[in-house]
Amino acid sequence: MTFTDYFHSLDLNNLVKRSESISQAECERLLNKPKLQLSDFPVLLSPNMQSYLEPLAQRAQAITIQRFGKTMSLFAPMYLSNWCYNRCTYCGFSMELDYERVVLSDEEILKEAKALSSTGIQHVLLLTGEAPDKAGVDYIEHAVRLIKPYFSSIGIEIQPLKTVEYQRLIKAGVDTLTVYQETYHKESYMIYHLSGKKSRFDHRLETLDRGGEAGFHRLNLGALLGLYEWRYEALAIAHHIDYLKKRYWKSKFGISFPRIKSFVGQFDVQYPISDKELVQYICAFRLLFPDLGISLSTRESETLRNQLIHLGITSMSAGSHTEPGGYSGSDATCQFDISDERSVEDVCQYLHTQGFDPMLKDWDLQLVSD
């Protein structure tokens, strides 16, 4: 059974309704339950669980320290291109936005890699828009080989590829694949993705299966919060992780919780998620999946990030730029605005004051390269 078949067999609306009707007594019972299951997830997400955020947060923190110690892995995105042929209404790279597009040359990629690695960052996430003739597999594979000497871990967040294409990138040195479904609510998905290959909902749903078959060390997923009701998205993601873990058991899994940020275009957020709900969301995933990597981006403010690191976060971006060439002084158009503008050094210093050990390197490409 493909994930698409499995996904369409789920009654997520019913699970959301169940979550919304959970009593306080059920919440209390769950808090005393030692081991949680997927069927407990609606309780963790329920509106009544908001009254128990403190014990929920304490349990999330204890599990994280038990599994990961008091460490925080740091990474940064590196955008190679802002060309894109899709029209996604929430994104600064959307095709109809009129500005000069760029694709970094070899020289620019190297300059960018040197500038980023000089900040201490060893884990890099390479990103492009979806424009295969401008930044396709050949280009990305070449870019990976160019930057390999500067980083110990390379991830990608690019257009969906075939399994054999992913295998080529793994061979070149990529260890992590990130694919956000954006929203798991199909009707909403069709409203936000107006045209281009990304408008194929089911095709995107199956992308992580191809990544799992290819053998990535880590698979990251998530939804862009603000596109649809957060409980619906959380339930869909939990089922997606559960499905993937059973099939691609050699891979590790990670999730992140991006909330829509402002960008060069305009977008009205129809389904905002509050800070308190975000805390519940993060704690719920930590309790259900104790070994899950949980990542926090610079989309969130410094103040909120400083609070969230204690709840179950295992990695965070730092010193980020979301425009191609951003670390080496380019003024190209960015994908979205960032909120926490602290440098890598400042983030490390803050983590130390909170008793965390910031980790710039906890993985080495030599482990996967030939």
Least separation in angstroms between residue 229's CB and ligand SF4 is 20
> In the complex, what is the shortest distance from the CB of residue 94 to ligand SF4, in angstroms, rounded to a whole number?
4
Q: Is 73 helix (H, G, I), strand (E, B) or coil?
A: strand
x/- site string to ligand SF4, residues 33 to 72, per CB under 6 A?
----------------------------------------
Of residues 349-368, those binding ligand SF4 (CB under 6 A):
none
- Residue 93 or 257: which CB sits closer to ligand SF4? 93
Our measurement of the distance from residue 79's CA atom to the centroid of its chain's CA atoms, rounded to an integer in Å, reads 15
Within 90-129, the residues that bind ligand SF4 by CB under 6 A are 91, 93-94, 129
Length of the chain: 370
Q: DSSP letter for 332, please.
A: P
Q: Which stretch binds ligand SF4 (CB under 6 A): 85-93, 105-113, 183-191, 296-304?
A: 85-93
Q: Indicate which single residue of 44, 84, 227, 332 sits in contact with ligand SF4 (rule: CB under 6 A).
A: 84
Q: What is the spatial distance between Cα 68 and Cα 233, in angstroms, rounded to a whole number?
A: 26
Contact 48, 24 (CB under 8 A): yes
* Shortest Å, Cβ 270 to ligand SF4: 17
Query: Which lies closer to ligand SF4 via its Cβ, residue 11 or residue 96?
Result: 96
Stretch that binds ligand SF4, among 24-32, 88-96, 109-117, 296-304 (CB under 6 A): 88-96
What gap in Å lies between CA 81 and CA 129, rounded to an integer?
6
Q: Which stretch binds ligand SF4 (CB under 6 A): 67-75, 86-94, 144-152, 236-244?
A: 86-94
Q: Judged by CB under 6 A, which stretch of 14-22, 87-95, 278-286, 297-305 contacts ligand SF4?
A: 87-95
Terminal-residue alpha carbon distance, the chain: 33
User: Of the two residues 73 and 94, which places its CB atom closer to ligand SF4 in the complex?
Assistant: 94
The residues facing 9 across adjacent strands are: none
Identified binder of ligand SF4 from the candidate list 198, 231, 239, 286, rule CB under 6 A: 198
Strand pairing of 218-223 and 123-127?
Answer: unpaired
CB-nearer residue toward ligand SF4: 259 or 286: 259
What distance separates the 2 farthest-apart alpha carbons in the chain?
62
What does DSSP assign to residue 228?
Answer: S
DSSP assignment of 76-113, as one string? EEEE-B-----EETT-TT-TTS-S---B--HHHHHHHH
Contact 301, 340 (CB under 8 A): yes
3, 76, 79, 130: residue in contact with ligand SF4 (rule CB under 6 A): 130
Name which of 36 and 191 has its Cβ closer to ligand SF4: 191
Nearer to ligand SF4, 131 or 154 (CB): 131
**19, 64, 73, 86: which one contacts ligand SF4 (CB under 6 A)?**
86
Name the residue nearer to ligand SF4 (CB basis): 78 or 288.
Answer: 78
Residues paired with residue 222 on neighbouring β-strands, in sequence order = 180
Burial class, 97, CB count within 10 angstroms (exposed 0-12 / middle 13-18 / buried 19+)? middle
| Nearest by Cα to 79 from 331, 296, 326 | 326
Q: Supply the minimum distance, in Å, between the C-beta of residue 368 and ligand SF4.
A: 26
Q: Residue 297 Cβ, how far from ligand SF4 at the closest point, in Å?
A: 14
Question: Which SS3 state, helix, strand or coil, does residue 295 take?
Answer: strand
For residues 298 and 306, the answer to whether their CB atoms sit within 8 Å is no
HSE-up of residue 264 (Cα within 13 Å, Cβ side): 18
Site map 153..192 versus ligand SF4, x via CB under 6 A: ----------------------------------------
Count of C-beta atoms within a 10 Å radius of residue 266:
8
Contact between 88 and ligand SF4 per CB under 6 A = yes
Binding site for ligand SF4 (CB under 6 A): 84, 86, 88, 91, 93-94, 129-130, 198
